[in-house]
């Protein structure tokens, strides 16, 4: 079985109201990455990604660009211990 990793990202810029969360869900599911994504009160978006190192790295890299209408200014990435999440969803 492949090693699982977990990364938490906080994405700042124009990332709310531009389909960032739904695009993250689509991208993570396509890459077979588990976790969640949510808007934060300060206008940023937070997400947790769990999966194989290559898949998690791919969705983290996608986060640096986001959907067409997003303007990503900064992405903070932190490595964490995997929790065994299953599926990918929008968290509230």
Give the residue numbers marked as catalytic. Answer: 21, 39
How many CA atoms are closer than 13 Å to the CA of 21, on its beta-carbon side? Answer: 15
* Cα Dmax for the chain: 39
Q: Which of 22, 8, 9 is nearest to 67 (CA)?
A: 22
């Amino acid at each position: 079985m492949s090693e699982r990793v977990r990364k938490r990202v906080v994405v700042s810029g124009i990332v709310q109201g531009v389909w960032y969360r739904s695009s993250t869900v689509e991208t993570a599911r396509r890459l077979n990455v588990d976790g969640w994504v949510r808007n934060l009160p300060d206008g940023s978006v937070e997400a947790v990604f769990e999966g194989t190192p290559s898949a998690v790295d791919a969705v983290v890299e996608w986060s640096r660009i986001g959907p067409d209408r997003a303007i990503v200014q900064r992405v903070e990435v932190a490595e964490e211990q995997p929790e065994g999440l299953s599926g990918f969803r929008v968290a509230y």
